[in-house]
Structure 1
Amino acid sequence: MGYGESLPVTPFLNWVHVWNTGAAFSLFADGGGWQRYFFIGIAVLVSIVLIKFIRDNRHKGEAIAYCLILGGATGNLIDRIFRGYVVDYLDFYWRYWHWPAFNLADIAIVLGAFLIASVSLLRGKSNLNVEPDGAA
C-alpha cells in the first residue's frame, strides 16, 4: 500500500498506511525531527526498566503485562530506529469519527497496561481482607 492509502475492511475498520513521527495520538509529530531521538531514548530506558521488572517480579500476571508492554515498545522502537517513524495501519471509526490510527504494538502496550491495572486492583481487594498485625 502506498502512504496515505486506505482500504475498507468492515463498516467500522479501514486498513490504512500512515506514519506517526510523534508519540501517542501523534503528540509532538510536528517537532521538526528532535522527537525521533527523544522517543528512541525513552523507549530504550523504559525497556531496560521493564526487563528489570520482569526479572524481579514474582507475580505471573504482572510479568505477562510487562512482557506485552516491552514487546510493543520494542516493535515501535524498531520502526523508529530504521524508518524514523512508526507505521500505523488500523483505523477504527464510527460514522465520521475516527480513532487515531494505531498498530499491533500499540495494542500490546494497551493490553499490558490494562493487565497491570487489573492485577493491581485484584491484589488491592485481596489485601483489604487481611487484618493488620496485632489485631485480635
Structure 2
Amino acid sequence: MAKTTLPKQSKSSGVRGTLAPWLGIAVIVILADQLTKIAISRMFSYGEGRVVTPFFNLVLVYNKGAAFSFLAAAGGWQRWAFTALGVVAAIVIGYLLKRHAGQRLFCTALALILGGALGNVIDRLMYGHVIDFLDFHLSSSHWPAFNVADSAITVGAILLVLDELRRVRGSR
C-alpha cells in the first residue's frame, strides 16, 4: 500500500495568513455604509429630517470634520488630513490583519474599523465631507449625527477593548 502525503501548507496560505474573511467583513461594512448614504441622500434634502421613534430621527447632514464635527470649520485642510489618516490607518490595519489573521475577535474588530474608516474616506474623496444621518436624542438633547461607518468603527473599538480584557485575564 502506497503511503500518501499531503503537501505542507505555507505560512501565508494557512488560516493564520488569510485575509479573505477579514477583508470580506470590511467590504460588507463599506457597501452597507455607502448604500445607506446613497439612499438617504436621494430621499432627503440637506438638513431635512424625519422622526422614526421618540428617540431616533433620520436627518441628512454633512460633517467636514472628524468625530462630533471636530475641526469642521478648520478651513478645508482637514479634509485631506483626515483622508490621509484614514488611508494610513487602513494600511496599518491591513498589516495587523495579515499578521494576526488567526485571532478572530481581534481581526473582527480591525475589519469593522477598516470598513468604517474606508467608508468615510470614500465620502471625503467624493464629496469633501462625510454624510451622516443617524440622529439619536433624549428630549431636545441630540447626540451628534453619525452613519454606518461610524457605527462599525465604534463597535470595532469596543471589540478591541473586550479582546484586550480577555487577553489580560487569560495571562493571569
TM-score computed with the length of structure 1 as normaliser: 0.93
Q: Could you tell me which residue of structure 1 aligns to residue 70 of structure 2?
A: 27
Structure 2 alignment gaps of length 5 or more: 1-43
Q: 2: CA distance between counterparts of 1:64 and 1:96? A: 35
Give the C-alpha shift of residue 72 in structure 1: 0.3
Question: What number of residue pairs does the alignment pair up?
Answer: 128
Give the C-alpha shift of residue 126 in structure 1: 1.1
Give the C-alpha shift of residue 102 in structure 1: 0.2
Q: 2: CA distance between counterparts of 1:79 and 1:109? A: 15
Question: In the alignment, does 2:101 pair up with 1:53?
Answer: no
Q: 2: CA distance between counterparts of 1:62 and 1:126? A: 15
Q: Could you tell me which residue of structure 1 aligns to residue 125 of structure 2?
A: 81
Within a 5 Å distance, the mapping from 1:9-28 to structure 2 comes to 9-28=52-71
Give the C-alpha shift of residue 23 in structure 1: 0.3
TM-score computed with the length of structure 2 as normaliser: 0.74
Q: Could you tell me which residue of structure 1 aligns to residue 46 of structure 2?
A: 3
Q: 2: CA distance between counterparts of 1:43 and 1:12? A: 31
AA matched with 1:5: E
| Aligned-residue RMSD, C-alpha | 0.5
Give the C-alpha shift of residue 59 in structure 1: 1.0
Identity %: 46
Q: Could you tell me which residue of structure 2 aligns to residue 117 of structure 1?
A: 161
Structure 1 alignment gaps of length 5 or more: 129-136
State the SS of the aligned residue for 1:110: helix
Cα deviation code 1:36-77 (max 9, x no counterpart): 011111000010000001100131110111000000001000
Within a 5 Å distance, the mapping from 1:66-77 to structure 2 comes to 66-77=110-121
State the SS of the aligned residue for 1:100: coil
State the SS of the aligned residue for 1:19: strand
Cα deviation code 1:6-33 (max 9, x no counterpart): 1000000000000000000000000110
Q: Which protein is bigger by CA-based radius of gyration?
A: 2
Give the C-alpha shift of residue 104 in structure 1: 0.3
AA matched with 1:36: R
Q: 1: CA distance between counterparts of 2:80 and 2:108? A: 28
Residue 98 (structure 1) aligned to one of 130, 142, 152: 142
